[in-house]
Amino acid sequence: MSSFLPTTPAPLSWLWDWYQWIPTLLPGLGTALLLTLVSVGVGYPLGFGLALLTETRSALARWFAIVVVEVGRGLPILVLLLLVYRGLPSVGILFDAFLSASVALVWSSAAYSAEIIRTGLGAVPRGQFDAAYALSMNRTDMYRLIVLPQALRVSIPPLVNLGITMFHATSLATVITVEEIMHIANLEGSIYFRYMSVFMAAAVIYLAITVPVSLYADRLAKRLGGVMTVRKTVLRRPAGSVPVSAES
Amino acid sequence: MDKRMDPVHTDTRAIEVEHSSGHSFVQAEHLVKRFGEHRAIDDVSLSIAKGEVISLIGPSGAGKSTLLRLLNVLETPDSGTLRVGDAAMTFDGTPVKRARVLAIRRHTGMVFQSFNLFPHLSAVQNVALAQMRVLGRSKDEARTRALAQLERVGLAAKADAYPSQCSGGQQQRIGIARALAMDPDLMLFDEPTSGLDPEVGAEILAVMRELAADGTTMVMATHEMEFARHVSHWTCVMVEGAVIERGAPAQVFDAPEHERTRRFLSAVLGR
Amino acid sequence: MAEAFLLIAAATGATLLLTVSAALIGIVLGAPLVLLAQSRSAILRGIYTVFVHVVRGVPALVWLFIAFFGLAELGIVLPALASAVLTLGIIAIATMAEIYRGGLAAIRQGQYEAGWALSLGRWSLAKDIIFPQLFRAVSPTTATYIVGLLKDSALASIIGVPEIVYVTGLEVQSLGHGLELFLFAGLIYLALSIPLGVVSRVIHVRLTRRYAVL
């Protein structure tokens, strides 16, 4: 890598030579994606379970779910990471860095997704339940065939966005020495004193993943929202209409 | 439907009868409004004398609302001329002068189908705001006049209520008071009752009937055929952006000249 | 131990300072930014879209490192606190602009038309009609976002700003008791975010009780 670089780079060289760091950072991207996959793949099903628990009749289960969700949403992810990695060892629970990061991110992702799924379930109109009961459906069928498909329409776009948030959050795992993108970037940056260039490369890698996914989420929201989507005209006027100021 | 296939359409240009005699207060000539390829208003001319009540009837999507919105330039016509009182404009696709548009709007008040009350202001504030900001009336004067207008539409008791605390009929009456408070010479009503229950709509119609009796110049797009027939001086039948027939209500309703008018009336009147 | 708790609690000031400064920057400067999104010029709207997507598409930590290490390399040496405020502030500008954009989209076209039909001037339309409704539309989202900023401010610990998490880390390093101390730090965040949530809910309920919900 050093052979590419002049010993004293031009002050703005980071604007064009950042791409040279991409191969170095790619293994970090792999780790970040793996962590994202774990936090989504394990976190969302747990979130679904927590969402159902918050609706149960058992007060104990309900309070358990509420505490797990509120702590997961209320603490900074950084604190969750440090709690697992540096806090649990003091009671004899030792996870390695990757496992600690997985536990903290799964917790966070489960908590946020629980809230999203609960909102989605709440958005299904009361009349849909009534209609299902009136048709003598059993509860399982009612949820599986009537309630969930409608709840998911509401929940999927925010769940995709939460996935992006979790991908971003993997960068925090650098503080507990997980070798994701920022960990490698920081290390390389300090070795060559080429921080600007290497962080640019990191930014480009993050953008390359998040921008397509968030554009997809926007489109998905529009499609699933159907007639519910908001009109685009805002301060812009409708075609042809004339704004006229009466200020004289 | 391609309008060129509609036989009625071929003679629209023939119908530019000056129905009002003497001096007209509103004079619109050859107004055209396109939305993309669609000609929403297709060469409409209209002249209204002071104190006249004009009703626009016709099927949904015929351009009644758009025509009203051209009359206070909420939509800019693509071509044609418009004069309201002493404010005149010619449209040729070039950007319009704000001062001219303003002059026209100062003459007109508009009542919307969806009320469009300001939800964060109480009834009296809704009516007073533009008086203060546009006409420069003092707060006290604006409030006094606002209360008088609310009284006129029978809502003095609701002066301090917010729109969300009022029924649809009450909201629409506040909307009428708001427009009247600007002392307009011309009132435009864009299907003011179509979002309301028939019984509630009757409240609105009663207010409008009084305005008409007081000599207010009014143009209203409406689905209330009985009302149009009994309150308006002239009725225009709009189909696909054009006025295909116009005349005194008795003539239009009882002896329509056009086949399309007959079809429309028999559909809505069920006869 | 007791002293550690006190030191951590005392660091709440720095956390609040970070949160409040970033929030103010975003609330104030997000407004001119959203005007770009409303512009008739496709170029200005494009600039808005690119800015918002780039700022929000990159993790805050990357911006923080650019502001702290990167700028220093270019000869712009910022103290850690300034780097953190700058980073969180710029992200807050982009986020608040998006919140404002959503609020504007929630205001129905008829509100503008009613204003135009009444000959209201541009300034009056903005000040008397649009702004009050926008304010009500965005305040719950803004409150939620400020709670988010509160948690994001923990990032500043990574570059050594002595806020809650940084001080907690130092204490754990010297005393151990990682579980208790980090839990305590977490409780402070919960304690700070719950009142904000309650306040925003109360405001929201009070506003919606009186006014039509947009």
Q: What confidence score (pLDDT) does residue A9 get?
A: 62
Q: What confidence score (pLDDT) does residue C209 get?
A: 61
Looking at the domain assignment, is residue A235 inside a domain? no
Helix, strand, or coil (residue A181): helix
Looking at the domain assignment, is residue A209 inside a domain? yes
Residues 86-105 of C with CB under 8 A from A: 101-102, 104-105
Looking at the domain assignment, is residue A233 inside a domain? no
Cβ–Cβ < 8 Å for A241, B74:
yes
What are the contacts of B207-214 at 24+ separation with CB within 8 A?
B207/B153, B207/B154, B207/B173, B207/B176, B208/B176, B211/B176, B211/B180, B211/B187, B212/B53
Looking at the domain assignment, is residue A236 inside a domain? no
Cβ–Cβ < 8 Å for C214, A234:
no
User: Quick one: average pLDDT of A99-107?
Assistant: 97
For every residue of C31-87, DSSP letters joined together read HHHHHHHT-S-HHHHHHHHHHHHHHHHS-HHHHHHIIIIIHHHTT----HHHHHHHH
Q: What confidence score (pLDDT) does residue B10 get?
A: 34
Contacts of B112 (CB under 8 A, 6+ apart): B175, B190, B192, C110, C113, C114, C117
Q: What confidence score (pLDDT) does residue C189 get?
A: 96
For every residue of B150-178, DSSP letters joined together read HHHTT-GGGTT--GGGS-HHHHHHHHHHH
Looking at the domain assignment, is residue A161 inside a domain? yes
Residue B187 CB coordination number (10 Å): 21
CA distance A223 to chain B (A): 25
Residues of A with CB below 8 A from C65's CB? 182, 185-186, 189, 195, 199
Q: What confidence score (pLDDT) does residue A135 get?
A: 85
How many alpha carbons lie under 13 Å from residue B139 in its C-beta half-sphere? 0
Q: What confidence score (pLDDT) does residue B13 get?
A: 35
Cβ–Cβ < 8 Å for C92, C149:
yes
Residue with tokens 């971003």: A168
Q: What confidence score (pLDDT) does residue C140 get?
A: 86
State the Cα–Cα distance between residues B69 and A142, nearest whole angstrom. Answer: 48
Q: What confidence score (pLDDT) does residue A90 get?
A: 86
Test A195 with C73 for CB contact under 8 angstroms. Answer: yes
Number of domains in chain A: 1
How does pLDDT run along chain C (214 residues), one tens digit per residue? 789 999 999 999 999 999 999 999 999 999 999 999 999 999 999 999 999 999 999 999 999 999 999 999 888 999 999 999 999 999 999 999 999 999 999 999 999 999 999 999 999 999 999 999 999 889 889 999 999 999 999 999 999 999 999 999 999 999 989 999 999 999 999 999 877 777 777 776 776 665 543 3
Contacts of C37 (CB under 8 A, 6+ apart): A234, C45, C48, C49, C97, C101
> Residue A244: closest CA among chain B residues belongs to which residue?
B98
For B89, phi then psi, to 5°, come to -140, 145
Which residue from C203, C70, C79, C94 is spatially nearest to C152, judged by alpha carbons? Answer: C94
Per residue in A15-42, pLDDT (tens digit) is 888 999 999 999 999 999 999 999 999 9
Looking at the domain assignment, is residue A100 inside a domain? yes
Helices (H), chain C: 2-10, 12-37, 42-57, 60-65, 71-73, 80-105, 109-117, 122-124, 131-152, 164-175, 178-210
Encoded tokens for C131? 């702004």
Test B105 with C116 for CB contact under 8 angstroms. Answer: yes
Cβ–Cβ < 8 Å for A9, A194:
yes
List the single residue in A241, A245, A246 with the smallest CB-CB distance to B74: A241
Tell me what the pLDDT averaged over chain A comes to. 85
List the single residue in A239, A240, A246 with the smallest CB-CB distance to B134: A246
Residue A226 in this model has a pLDDT that exceeds 70: no
State the Cα–Cα distance between residues A212 and A51, nearest whole angstrom. Answer: 29
Encoded tokens for A81? 């990471």
Q: What confidence score (pLDDT) does residue A136 get?
A: 82
Q: Which residues of chain B have pLDDT under 50?
A: 1-21
Residue A187 in this model has a pLDDT that exceeds 50: yes
Cβ–Cβ < 8 Å for C212, B164:
yes
ipTM score assigned to the predicted complex: 0.90
Query: What does the H/E/C string look like for A23-51?
Result: HHHHHHHHHHHHHHHHHHHHHHHHHHHHH
> Residue A247: closest CA among chain B residues belongs to which residue?
B134
State the Cα–Cα distance between residues A132 and A112, nearest whole angstrom. Answer: 29
Domains of chain C, first to last = 2-210 (1.10.3720.10)
Domain extent for A33: 10-226
Q: What confidence score (pLDDT) does residue B108 get?
A: 94
Domains of chain B, first to last = 3-269 (3.40.50.300)
The CATH number that applies at residue A27 is: 1.10.3720.10
Residue A242 in this model has a pLDDT that exceeds 50: no
Beta bridge partners of B186: B108, B217
For B40, phi then psi, to 5°, come to -75, -35
Looking at the domain assignment, is residue A192 inside a domain? yes
Q: What confidence score (pLDDT) does residue B114 get?
A: 92
List the single residue in A238, A242, A245 with the smallest CB-CB distance to B96: A242
Q: What confidence score (pLDDT) does residue A240 get?
A: 38
